[in-house]
Copies of this chain bind each other. A is one copy, B any other.
Amino acid sequence: MKLNIPILLMTMRDGAVSDQAAQFVQRQLVSRGVESVIVDPEDYHEKKSFEQEHVQPWSEIMKAADALVIVSPEYNHSMPGPGKEMLDTLYEEYEKKPVAICGVSSGTLGGARVIEHLKTVMIELKMVAIREAMYFAKARELFNEDGTIKDASYEQWMDKMFTELFWYAHVLKAGREGKIDVGL
């Protein structure tokens, strides 16, 4: 079964290194046979544009998704506003699907704090927030211009994260589709 896992970019600041991180993650997903688009808040963000009717494409993407990856820089120990606005526009589209979070920072902590804040948000949105996460530290120096990564050790972490994410994607999908007796 081919998985479909979109990537939500949390920021729209020009030149954000998070773009590179998202492209790196997308390439890694595609190389594992996963269908994946990057969702950019820039495409949704005009005055009042997060109203329900404007976010239809984002809603369709999440409806079709088996899981979600969030790529987020850390702004003042928490999440960027535009991405939070995106997250707050949907609800049942997320239900009982797993989510993995990739933090991005110019310092050495790789977004460790925004990852924790986002976990509690995603739980409230009824997603399964998995343990494995990416901590892209010193991100300005981390990526090559072609979207590859300079430090190969991140690929091992990514493998670990995808192993957990795909496991939940498959298992929860079976559950949602009623293939497992849940005793009701």
Which residues of A pack against B, CB within 8 Å? 1, 3, 45-47, 50, 75-88, 96, 108-110, 112-113, 116-117, 119-121, 123-126, 128-131, 135, 137, 166-167, 170-172, 174-175, 179-183
Nearest B-chain residue to A115, judged by Cβ = B113
Q: Which residues of B contact A45 (CB under 8 A)?
A: 47
Is A137 a contact of B124 with CB atoms below 8 Å?
no
Nearest B-chain residue to A132, judged by Cβ = B126
Is A85 a contact of B80 with CB atoms below 8 Å?
yes
Q: Which of B1, B81, B129 is within 8 Å of A181, CB to CB?
A: B1
Is A124 a contact of B120 with CB atoms below 8 Å?
no
Known: A81-B84, A96-B167, A129-B129; 7 extra A-B contacts, CB below 8 A, are: A1-B183, A50-B81, A81-B88, A84-B84, A113-B113, A124-B131, A171-B172
Q: Which of B77, B87, B125, B182 is within 8 Å of A167, CB to CB?
A: B182
Assembly CA distance A168 to B120 (angstroms): 18
Provide 8 A-B residue pairs closer than 8 Å at the C-beta atoms, listed in order of the A residue: A75-B84, A80-B85, A108-B108, A112-B113, A120-B120, A123-B131, A167-B175, A171-B174
Closest CB-CB distance, A152 to chain B, in whole Å?
16
Assembly CA distance A77 to B113 (angstroms): 10
Q: Which of B109, B119, B124 is within 8 Å of A123, CB to CB?
A: B119
Nearest B-chain residue to A87, judged by Cβ = B76
